[in-house]
Amino acid sequence: MIRQFKQVGLLVSMSMLAATAQAQAPAAAPAPAPAWKQGMPDNMATSTLAPLAGKLTATKAADVPLDKIKLPPGFKVEVWADSVPGSRAITQGDGGKYYVGTRPLGRIYEITDNGTTRTSRVLVDKLNQPTAAYKDGSLIVMSVDKVLHYQNIDKNPNVAPVDLTAKFNLPPEQHHNWKYIAFGPDGKLYVPFGAPCNICEPPSAEYAQIRRYNADGSNMEVLARGVRNTVGFDWHPVTKELWFSNHGRDWMGDDTPNDTMNRLKVGGHYGFPSCHQGNLPDPDVKRAKPCDGIEQPVALMGPHASSMGVKFYSGNMFPAEYRNVLFNARKGSWNRTKKIGYDVVMVRADADGKNAKVEPFMTGFFNEADQSFWGRPAYLHQMKDGSMLVSDEQMGVIYRVSYSK
C-alpha cells in the first residue's frame, strides 16, 4: 500500500479535486498521484505514455523471430530455453541447474541443462516478484516481502525452504522493491532497496539504498544511499569493485535524466531525489547545491532506457577485446515519445571507470521506423564455457550467445 508520504509535483488538478472533495465529502483526503506518475508536469497531462504490457503466456522457440537479432561478426544466437514466461535474472547452481525469477507471475523456474536440451519446472510460485541467488549448494529466494533459504538444494532438489524473512528487515513499500540480488566475492549477499515512487522524499531512510548481509540475514550494512533503483550489478574482474545500473526518474522530458552505470563507493551518495546522473538538479525536490558531493556515473546509459542486467565478461570464448568489458541489457523505454533501448550494449572503460564508451552488441528487437518491439532483453549470465545467456522478459525465453572464428 502506498502511504501518503511526502509527494512532490502534485498536480494542480489534484488540489482542485481536493477542493471539490472538501465541499462535498469533508472526510476525503486528496488522492496523491500514483507512484509512477508522481512528478508529471501539467504540460504532460494529456500524454498517453504508459508502462508497456508484458506477456505472461509461454512462447515456443519456433515462434521467436531469431533471424531479426543482430550481433557482431563471429557471434551467433540460439534459443537456449523457451516457455519460461516473464524470465528475468538467472543464477547458476550445480549439476546443470539454473534458477530464474519473474515479476507478476510470481514464479522461480528451475532449468536443468543436460548439455543439448533443457527441461524446466516451477521451483516455487505465488510469491511477490521473486528472484534468486545461489552459493555453496544453497539457494536464496527473495521477493518484495519474503526471504526463503533452500539449504543444500544441490543434494536435495525438493528441500523445504526455511523462512528467513524476519532476519532481513524488509521495508513495507512495494513500488521499485523488486530486487536483483547476488553474492559478492566477499561471500555477502548484496540487496538493493529502490525508492518507492517516481520522485519523492522517501518515507523513511530504508529506501534508495544498496545493502549487504550475511547469507543468513545477519550483519546488515548500508553501502550506498541516494540510489533510486538499481536492478543490476556485477563485480569488476580485476578491481573486484561493484558496478551497478541505476534507473533515472520519469516525466522529465524525452532526453533527461539518463539511466546510469556506476561504481560503488562505500558510504557514497548517488543523488536521489535531488540530483540525477551526477549533475542534473531535480525540478521537484529542490536543495541548495544538490549535486555537491554526489558520486559521478561511469557512463550514461540513455534516458528512460531501462538499464537492467550487468555482467563483466571474464570468459575465454569471446575474442580478447571483450575481456573485462561490461555488458548491459537495456529493456527499453516507455516514458519517451521515441523509444530507445531494447538491446544489449557494451561499456568499455578503464578499470577506474574513466574513458567509458557505450557501444551496441545485441540489437534487432526494436524497429525504429515504426516504433514496434518484439523482445526485451533483461538479464545476462556468463556460462562456464564462456558463452552468454540473455533473458528476454517479453518473449519468456533465454538466448545463448556464443562465438567461434
Partner 1 sequence: MAFLGAAILAPLFSAAQPAPALVTLCSACHGPNGNSQLKDVPSLAGQPKIFIENQLVLIREGMRDIAQMKGMLDKVPDSELTALAVHYASLPIAKPTAKRQAALFSRGETLSQEMRCGICHLPTYVGREQMPRLAGQREDYLLYTMRAMKANQAVGRDSIMIASLYGISDEDLQAISHYLSRLAN
Residues that bind partner 1 (CB under 8 A): 1-2, 4, 11, 13-14, 16-17, 20-21, 24-25, 27-37, 45-58, 63, 65, 85, 104-107, 125-126, 174-175, 367, 370-372, 374
Nearer to partner 1, 85 or 278 (CB): 85
Nearer to partner 1, 24 or 158 (CB): 24
- Smallest gap, in angstroms, from Cβ of residue 243 to partner 1? 29
- Smallest gap, in angstroms, from Cβ of residue 219 to partner 1? 31
- Smallest gap, in angstroms, from Cβ of residue 57 to partner 1? 4
Number of neighbouring beta carbons within 10 Å of residue 203: 18
Nearer to partner 1, 29 or 288 (CB): 29
Cα separations in angstroms, 260 against 16, 48, 138, 139 = 37, 26, 32, 30
Nearer to partner 1, 179 or 212 (CB): 179
Nearer to partner 1, 46 or 117 (CB): 46
Picking from 268, 261, 345, 325, the residue whose alpha carbon sits closest to that of residue 298 is: 261
- Smallest gap, in angstroms, from Cβ of residue 343 to partner 1? 17
| Rounded Cα–Cα distance for residues 182 and 245 (Å) | 14
What is the residue whose three cell numbers read 569488476? Answer: 236
- Smallest gap, in angstroms, from Cβ of residue 397 to partner 1? 14
DSSP-derived letter for residue 67 is G
- Smallest gap, in angstroms, from Cβ of residue 59 to partner 1? 9
- Smallest gap, in angstroms, from Cβ of residue 55 to partner 1? 8
User: For the chain, what is the total number of helices (H) and then of strands (E)?
Assistant: 2, 29
Picking from 87, 85, 77, the residue whose alpha carbon sits closest to that of residue 60 is: 85
Burial degree of 134 (CB within 10 A; 0-12, 13-18, 19+)? buried
DSSP secondary structure of 20-48: HHHHH-TTPPPPPPPGGGTT--GGGTT--
Picking from 124, 126, 87, the residue whose alpha carbon sits closest to that of residue 106 is: 126
- Smallest gap, in angstroms, from Cβ of residue 208 to partner 1? 18
Nearer to partner 1, 51 or 73 (CB): 51
Nearer to partner 1, 63 or 78 (CB): 63
- Smallest gap, in angstroms, from Cβ of residue 37 to partner 1? 8
Nearer to partner 1, 25 or 160 (CB): 25
| Rounded Cα–Cα distance for residues 181 and 334 (Å) | 25
DSSP secondary structure of 348-379: E--TTS-S-EEEEEEB-SEETTTTEES--EEE
What is the residue whose three cell numbers read 526518474? Answer: 249
Cα separations in angstroms, 385 against 7, 74, 131, 332, 400 = 49, 16, 24, 29, 11
| Rounded Cα–Cα distance for residues 16 and 310 (Å) | 44
Nearer to partner 1, 341 or 375 (CB): 375
| Rounded Cα–Cα distance for residues 241 and 234 (Å) | 8
Nearer to partner 1, 17 or 317 (CB): 17
- Smallest gap, in angstroms, from Cβ of residue 156 to partner 1? 25
- Answer whether the bond into residue 185 is a cis peptide, omega within 30°: no
